[in-house]
Amino acid sequence: MKSIPFLVLNRQYKEIKDQIGLAINRVLNSQYFILGNELSKFEDEFAKYLGVKHVVGVNSGTDALIMALKVLKIGKGDEVITPTQSFIATTLAITEVGATPIFIDSNPDTFLIDSDAIEAKITKHTKAILPVHLYGAPCNMKKIMDIAKKHKLYIIEDACQAHGAAINNQKVGTFGTIGTFSFYPGKNLGAYGDAGAICTNDDVLFEELIMYRNYGQKKKYYHTKIGINSRLDEIQAAILTVKLPYLHSWNIKRNNIAELYRQHLHKTIKTQKIIDNGISSYHLFVIEVDNRNKLKDFLEKNGVGTLIHYPVPIHLQECYANLGYKKGDFVTAEESAKKILSLPMYPELTENEVKYIAQLINQFYSF
Ligand SMILES: Cc1ncc(COP(=O)(O)O)c(C=O)c1O
């Protein structure tokens, strides 16, 4: 029996071990650990990669989202429109700044925020739309941008799973007012610890973010604003700079693996639809199936690791009971949560492994 874990990071590490070692040693020898040249270099290179004016490295994707909302002065009394099907951090950021999340159901085909349902939820309190490019798949940004423009709303893109995903060759994260990224180790571009970034084309917001992440100071010990401490450290920045040039080829490999899954899975197995002219970064490869839990156990017994992203839509999470949502409020997301399953997806997955997984799934459904 094969053993195919859900995620294997050491296959990638082995390929770049020497470069990583050199980068970490460079930082150790410099004895400079916070807000130095490594961070500036990574920020410049990631900005170039994205095709955006500014990148600000921070502690995590969650911090990136919180800081985006903060510098846009979104807080108590404000509403932010966001999908109920996402990782919890998207909504945690909204409630962390004191604003109210207004949830939107999923589109049944793309598994992403249903952009046709957004406009009906706009009130005089709405300040921003916070779409999530979930699993690496780009949202319908044209529609979302049209709505935002019409109602004068900010857009904060949660691109924490979508490094390199694009629409018409424009990278996601660069369509809205601000884009946010996570470099959590398992991400397409992953650090070896917590790390994140914010991108923007707005010079004023950039200046605010630079101060906000560093105790609200521009000049040491002179605090113009009330800030926090959220900086991407030099070791993580050096690691990310080593990895960044590989990101494009890793994403191509992920796309090839997605293609292989689609070729070998029986055609009735539902997979995530990618919008026209969109390219997914395939952070995750998600199928939607009946008898999901039994399939998961069957795959586990046959050595294949899978995960569920995510089993409970955010409006039904216990921590948000106070928001007053109930079962049945967002039928598509709730149904989807019962059926979705993420299959192994990493650039180093072999063709034979993908075929083996697909065959097991077909066998389970007697195709
Ligand atoms: C969609 C989404 N948003 C936000 C986050 C938060 O990022 P982090 O774990 O770096 O705080 C993550 C990642 O974990 C994510 O997947």
Is 80 exceeded by the pLDDT of residue 1? Answer: no
* Distance (Å, whole) CA 349 – CA 344: 8
Which residue out of 82, 132, 157, 161 has the highest number of ligand 1 atoms within 8 Å of its CB and is therefore the one to mutate? Answer: 161
**151-187 per-position pLDDT tens digit:** 999 999 999 999 999 999 999 999 999 999 999 999 9
Residue 2 resides in a domain: no
- Same domain for 309 and 197? no
Query: Position 243: which residue type?
Result: K
Contact 158 CB / ligand 1 (< 6 Å): yes
Number of domains in the chain: 2
User: Which carries the bigger pLDDT value, residue 2 or residue 216?
Assistant: 216
Task: Mark whether 271 and 215 lie in a shared domain.
Answer: no
Ligand 1: residue whose CA is nearest its atom 7: 61
In 3-state terms, what secondary structure has residue 4? strand
Mean pLDDT over 138-146 rounds to 98
The average confidence (pLDDT) of the chain is: 98
pLDDT at 337: 98
- The model's confidence at residue 134, banded by pLDDT at 50, 70 and 90, is very high
Q: Nearest Cα to 207, choosing from 67, 99, 80, 96? A: 67
Which residues contact residue 178 at a Cβ distance below 8 angstroms, ignoring those fewer than 6 apart? 68, 71, 72, 154, 155, 156, 157, 198, 199, 200, 202, 205
Among candidate residues 312, 310, 317, 365, the one with its CA nearest the CA of residue 342: 310
Q: What is the mean pLDDT of residues 187-213?
A: 98
Which residue, judged by its Cα, is nearest atom 15 of ligand 1?
160
Question: Is 184 touching ligand 1 by the criterion CB < 6 Å?
Answer: yes
Q: What local confidence, expressed as pLDDT, does residue 186 receive? A: 98
- What band does 241 get if pLDDT is binned at 50, 70 and 90? very high
141 Cα: distance to centroid of ligand 1 (angstroms): 20
Last residue of a domain, one of 219, 241, 263: 241
In percent, the amount of the chain with pLDDT more than 70 equals 100
Range of the domain at 257: 246-364
| pLDDT grade for 16, boundaries at 50, 70 and 90 | very high
Give the model confidence (pLDDT) of 250-292 as tens digits.
Answer: 999 999 999 999 999 999 999 999 999 999 999 999 999 999 9
Q: How far is the CA of 184 from the centre of ligand 1 (A)?
A: 7
pLDDT for 367: 86
Identify whether 338 is a catalytic site residue: no
Q: What is the pLDDT of residues 302-313, one digit of tens each?
A: 999 999 999 999
Atom of ligand 1 nearest to the CA of 60: 10
Q: How close is the Cα of 61 to the center of ligand 1, in Å? A: 5
Q: Is the CB of 160 under 6 A from ligand 1?
A: yes
Does the predicted TM-score (pTM) go above 0.85?
Answer: yes
Same domain, 218 and 275: no
Residues 220 and 253 in one domain: no
State the pLDDT at residue 361: 98
Rounded to the nearest angstrom, the distance between the alpha carbon of 262 and the centre of ligand 1 is 27
Q: pLDDT band at residue 2, thresholds of 50, 70 and 90?
A: confident
Residue 5, domain member (yes or no): no
Question: Taking a C-beta distance cutoff of 8 angstroms, is the pair 60, 196 a contact?
Answer: yes
Tell me what pLDDT residue 172 has: 98
